[in-house]
């Protein structure tokens, strides 16, 4: 027991002795300097590391934003290229050479070649019929060959377009069906863009534009010329169509395994991520899908390359950090040595500090009235005094600031500036710097700090300084700089040529698009007046508009011919807007140039094509009318002699049968001539319709009675269901009877014996007269329901060689539409077809000239 008590007493004495020695060791300033120096070195190392990590994250974010911007630019260009092709093909489809009923391959090839001149990104143009035969092509060797339509691309309906996949080869020879396909070097191919249309003969044709992938690749290379990125243009299913170079060997292959296609699309049309890409498993990748065309643009950069680029750019930062750490360590060692030397003289300094403390006490009252933060530190930066503004900034009492090191109060990124300001070895008098301090979570302040050394007998014994809160000014400056940088980026990346002049008419700003459009570097025009480098008439136009805007403000638009950098004159629309300052004074004019040469050329071409088509239609109608009139005279003679022969040859049955055949054939020809005359009258502007307000029941019943012999001969029943209420509409009775006669005659012709034809008439919910003629015949294919109302078109189910002209329903449609109504056909679910005639209810009687184009 005694031994145990003795052991505990010894241990207690030992602990007391250790704590006393440790306290004595720590009381020496030199030892504290070593500890503080080591801590400062570690804090500096942590700050440099954090700064490097933050810089790397910023570099990565910048790369992601840059890839997204490039993807947006490249997607916009690719989409506009396909839209340009689609518009060109649509215009070609309506040209007389490609739309004529009688196809002329030479004229069609000439039209295609003329269109190809303005489409430099195409390898060729071709017209392909439904059977895969190349009717015409800009490449002579492709004409009259048969191609595999499944390889060419998806089937397109008239008025629709589609984009095919990448095909190896230089022309359609690479997918021909007969003969050996012509091989092309590796990597050479084209992308077919298809547009369907119907010519005047009713034939469905396909316009095929062979897009040169190299043209798309060239634009990508130009856009990425100085950038460490690679870009790829793919279809929605992931087939690579074009590449800027890194994936050139993969063109034509499918990359549907990457996240762009199996994770993002079609839920997201654009995104940026770090992961698997076309060229590697660890890529910074951004993609953007076109909103109107089946295209996806992918821009990517190797993550490893980005990291090495950052490291190469951050060498200076890392070197500065290492140097800073070494400097802190060296400064700590130097201070430690100096402190050890000065510790012996500290007693002498204590007296001076007492006197200084008295002076400080006298100054405290004065300092409280100062609106700035006033402080004083010793030689090591330890705060020995602060005024009451410390509480206003931090919310803490001033006593808590005493003893803190000024270097540790400021943010890590500002410590170097504070250390330099508190350098006792510097010869500078007033040291000014900006520092950031974080006093509470989320509260960051910027101070303008001024420090002066305090000297006693020529030696620096401490520092005094002041700090002014400039946070609002600092934030405003940063926001202004960011806004200016963003505006500069928008101006430089804008594809439209933009220039800015000041109030004296001197050029102060142009963007890159302006340099390319005008063919002049910005250095050659900055500070100069427009008259010194623009053609006189163009400069005068600008000066007049600018003078008006500088006087009155606002905006204006001018369209004129502008001298392009290639020496040509382009139709250009110029948008101008006055620039004003905060006082409303006009300080300059912003001008934006928009090249509309292609639009104006397209307008002129469209007008010429329309005029030519109208002239051709008029000539055709006049020819048909003249020929029909010329044919009626001999036909009347033929019919007359045939009837005479039938009467006189009754005694000879064989002879009478021959005259009866002649008479039947003549009647069919006369019907055809009459139909042609009706078509020519309806297509001309001289036909007159005598419109009357009448009850259509009294118009329909005589036609049915007229056709009863034909119904009996065909063993058919007629079910007439006319409303008990009057079916009143405004119509031409003679023409309307012609419509009913044609439609019912068609129903009789194609109805099987023993079936029933139904004619129903009623007023619908819109107070329109609605007639329905329904038969039990073979019906009409769904794809032909609209086409049977075209001239010379018959249903494929009713072409029986019975002599029909294909004009009856066309005449019916023109008559009904001239009366303001409509006629259409629908299939009956069981069997047969139903023809619907709808006429609006009209008011007063009148006779109108009907121009039925």
Q: How far is 300 from 276, CA to CA, in rounded Å?
A: 10
Extended strands (E) in 138-250 = 161-163, 167-168, 189-198, 204-211, 230-235, 240-243
Compute CA 538 distance to the chain's CA centroid, rounded to the nearest angstrom: 33
By DSSP bridging, strand 373-378 and strand 459-469 are: antiparallel
Q: Is the pTM of this model over 0.85?
A: no
Sorted by sequence, the CB contacts under 8 Å of residue 845 that are 6+ apart come out as 691, 692, 693, 730
Beta-carbon contacts of 3 under 8 Å, excluding residues fewer than 6 positions away, are none
DSSP string, 379-445: TTSBEEEE-THHHHHHSS-GGGTTT-BHHHHB-GGGHHHHHHHT-TT---SSEEEEEEEEEETTEEE
| Residues β-bridged to residue 530 | none
Percent with pLDDT over 70 in the chain: 85
531-564 residue pLDDT tens: 888 888 888 888 888 888 888 888 888 888 888 8
Strands, E assignment, 596-735: 688-695, 717-722, 728-731
Contacts of 529 (CB under 8 A, 6+ apart): 504, 505, 506, 507
Average pLDDT, the chain: 81
Residue 11, phi-psi category: left (phi > 0), alpha (psi -120 to 50), beta (remainder): alpha
Length of the chain: 853
Distance CA 6, CA 731 (A): 134
Helix (H) or strand (E) holding 302: strand 295-302
Q: What is the pLDDT of residue 848?
A: 44
Residues in the chain where the model's pLDDT stays below 50? 685-686, 801-803, 843-853
pLDDT of res. 804: 56
Question: For 108-125, what is the HEC assignment?
Answer: HHHHHHHHHHCCCCEEEE
Backbone angles phi, psi at 715, to 5 degrees: 60, 50
Give the pLDDT score at 301: 86
């Amino acid at each position: 027991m005694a031994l145990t008590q003795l052991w505990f007493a010894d241990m207690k004495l030992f602990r007391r002795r250790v704590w006393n020695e440790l306290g004595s060791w720590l009381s020496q300033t030199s030892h504290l300097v070593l500890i503080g120096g080591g801590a400062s070195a570690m804090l500096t190392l942590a700050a440099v590391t954090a700064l490097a990590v933050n810089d790397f994250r910023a570099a990565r974010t910048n790369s992601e934003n840059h890839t997204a911007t490039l993807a947006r630019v490249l997607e916009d260009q690719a989409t506009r290229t396909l839209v340009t092709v689609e518009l060109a093909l649509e215009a070609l489809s309506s040209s007389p050479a490609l739309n004529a009923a009688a196809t002329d391959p030479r004229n069609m090839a000439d039209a295609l070649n003329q269109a190809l001149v303005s489409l430099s990104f195409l390898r060729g143009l071709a017209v392909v019929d439904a059977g895969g035969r190349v009717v015409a092509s800009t490449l002579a060797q492709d004409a009259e060959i048969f191609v595999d339509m499944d390889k060419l691309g998806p089937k397109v309906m008239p008025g629709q377009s589609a984009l095919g996949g990448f095909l190896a080869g230089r022309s359609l020879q690479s997918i021909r069906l007969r003969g050996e396909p012509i091989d092309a070097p590796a990597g050479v191919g084209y992308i077919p863009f298809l547009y369907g249309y119907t010519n005047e003969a009713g034939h469905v044709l396909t316009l095929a534009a062979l897009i040169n992938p190299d043209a798309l690749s060239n634009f990508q290379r130009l856009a990425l010329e100085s950038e460490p990125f690679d870009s790829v243009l793919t279809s929605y299913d992931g087939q690579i169509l074009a590449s800027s170079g890194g994936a050139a060997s993969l063109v034509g292959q499918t990359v549907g395994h990457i996240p762009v296609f199996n994770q993002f699309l079609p839920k997201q049309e654009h995104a940026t991520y770090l992961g698997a890409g076309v060229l590697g498993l660890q890529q910074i990748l951004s993609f953007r899908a076109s909103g109107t065309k089946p295209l996806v643009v992918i821009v990517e950069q190797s993550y490893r390359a980005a990291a090495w680029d950052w490291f190469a750019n951050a060498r200076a930062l890392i070197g500065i950090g290492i140097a800073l750490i070494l400097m802190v360590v060296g400064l700590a060692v130097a201070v430690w040595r100096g402190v050890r030397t000065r510790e012996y003289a500290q007693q002498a300094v204590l007296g001076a500090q007492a006197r200084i403390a008295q002076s400080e006490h006298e100054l405290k009252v004065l300092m409280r009235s100062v609106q700035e933060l006033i402080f004083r530190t010793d030689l090591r930066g330890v705060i020995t005094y602060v005024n009451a503004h410390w509480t206003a900034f931090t919310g803490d009492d001033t006593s808590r600031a005493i003893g803190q090191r000024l270097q540790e109060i400021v943010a890590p990124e500002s410590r170097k500036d504070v250390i330099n300001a508190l350098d006792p070895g510097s010869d500078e008098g007033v040291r000014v710097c900006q520092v950031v301090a974080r006093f509470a979570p989320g509260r960051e302040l910027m101070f303008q700090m001024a420090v002066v050394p305090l000297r006693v007998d020529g030696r620096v014994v401490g520092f005094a300084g002041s700090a002014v809160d400039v946070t609002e000014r600092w934030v405003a400056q940063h926001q202004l700089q960011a806004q200016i940088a963003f505006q500069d980026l928008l101006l430089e990346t804008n594809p439209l040529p933009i220039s800015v002049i000041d109030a004296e008419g001197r050029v102060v700003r142009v963007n890159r698009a302006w340099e390319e459009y005008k063919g002049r570097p910005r250095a050659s025009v900055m500070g100069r007046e427009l008259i010194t480098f623009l053609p006189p008439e163009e400069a005068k136009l600008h000066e007049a508009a600018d003078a008006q805007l500088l006087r009155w403000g606002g905006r204006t638009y001018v369209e004129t011919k502008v001298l392009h950098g290639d020496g040509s004159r382009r139709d250009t629309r110029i948008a101008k807007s006055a620039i004003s300052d905060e006082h409303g004074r006009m300080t300059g004019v912003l001008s934006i140039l928009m090249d509309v040469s292609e639009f104006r050329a397209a307008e002129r071409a469209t007008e010429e094509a329309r005029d030519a088509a109208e002239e051709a239609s008029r000539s055709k109608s006049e020819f048909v009318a003249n020929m029909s009139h010329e044919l009626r005279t001999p036909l009347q003679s033929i019919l007359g002699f045939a009837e005479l022969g039938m009467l006189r040859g009754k005694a000879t049955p064989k002879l009478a049968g021959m005259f009866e055949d002649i008479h039947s054939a003549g009647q069919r020809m006369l019907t055809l001539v009459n139909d042609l005359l009706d078509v020519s009258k309806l297509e001309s502007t001289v036909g007159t319709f005598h419109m009357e307000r009448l009850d259509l029941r009294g118009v329909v019943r005589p036609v049915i009675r007229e056709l009863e012999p034909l119904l009996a001969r065909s063993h058919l029943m007629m079910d007439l269901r006319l409303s008990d209420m009057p079916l009143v509409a405004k119509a031409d009775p003679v023409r309307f009877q012609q419509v009913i006669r044609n439609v019912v005659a068609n129903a009789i012709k194609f109805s099987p014996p023993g079936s029933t034809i139904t004619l129903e008439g009623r007023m619908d919910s819109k107070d329109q007269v609605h007639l329905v003629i329904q038969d039990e015949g073979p019906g009409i294919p769904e794809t032909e329901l609209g086409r049977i109302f075209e001239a010379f078109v018959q249903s494929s189910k009713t072409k029986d060689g019975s002599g029909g002209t294909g004009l009856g329903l066309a005449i019916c449609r023109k008559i009904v539409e001239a009366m303001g109504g409509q006629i259409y056909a629908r299939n009956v679910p069981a069997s047969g077809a139903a023809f619907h005639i709808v006429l609006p209810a009209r008011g007063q009687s009148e006779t109108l000239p009907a121009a039925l184009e």
